[in-house]
Amino acid sequence: MALRVAYARVECTQNSRVSVARLFEPSHMQFEGNRMNDVGGEPSLSEMVEKAIEILQKDKDGLFLMVEGGRIDHAHHDGLAYHALHDTIAMDKAVAKAMLMTNEMETLFIVTADHSHVLSIGEAADRGSPILGRGEAADFHHPALVPIDSETHGGEDVTIYANGPMSHLFHGVHEQHYIAHVVRYASGVYYD
């Protein structure tokens, strides 16, 4: 049974409070590289971000929007470099769309990950070589030196990219819990 709920147009006024939930799959969304084959017409991450911002911008008190490109993680675990790359590009487009729709003087953007992965692009290829090498097919499973059921997380630090008010609070190396404290501080929600 496939669960599909139409990506409806939602009208909001300045004074209305609207709760919106849209489900497009019974489990995870499609990988970006497979999305065009989805008969239900699943929206892109950028389209969902655009709709969310259109709705949330109606609130005069401001907004908080968290977007996760979770299929990047799934593709890494499955050794699917094509999908990891294309879902990363989709996330980049979603961030770009959000930045176009908001005022950078009023909007703090934070882009990070909760962990790294060991699936990486290696080898000393010539410039202009296909980035995925022989794995250009979307569902090519990249082999591992030590094959296991699911690729593992890496242990190195992950980058925090930030832009906008209070973005200067991100510098050097931080523990992950620090991000939540900056979000709370930047939003004006203080501890009692």
The confidence score (pLDDT) of residue 59 equals 86
End-to-end CA, the chain: 48
- Three-state SS for 124? coil
The confidence score (pLDDT) of residue 76 equals 92
Report the candidate in 47, 46, 43 with the shortest Cα–Cα distance to residue 25. 43
What is the block-wise mean pLDDT of the chain (192 residues), using blocks of 10 residues? 41 60 87 89 93 90 90 93 94 97 94 87 71 76 82 90 95 92 89 68
> pTM (2 decimals)?
0.84
The confidence score (pLDDT) of residue 45 equals 95
Instruction: Determine whether 149 is exposed, middle or buried from the number of CB atoms within 10 Å of its CB (0-12, 13-18, 19+).
Output: exposed
The confidence score (pLDDT) of residue 160 equals 94
Contact 93, 103 (CB under 8 A): no
Place of tokens 């882009």: 111
What residues contact residue 77 under an 8 Å CB cut-off, 6+ apart?
117, 150, 151
- Three-state SS for 154? coil
The confidence score (pLDDT) of residue 47 equals 95
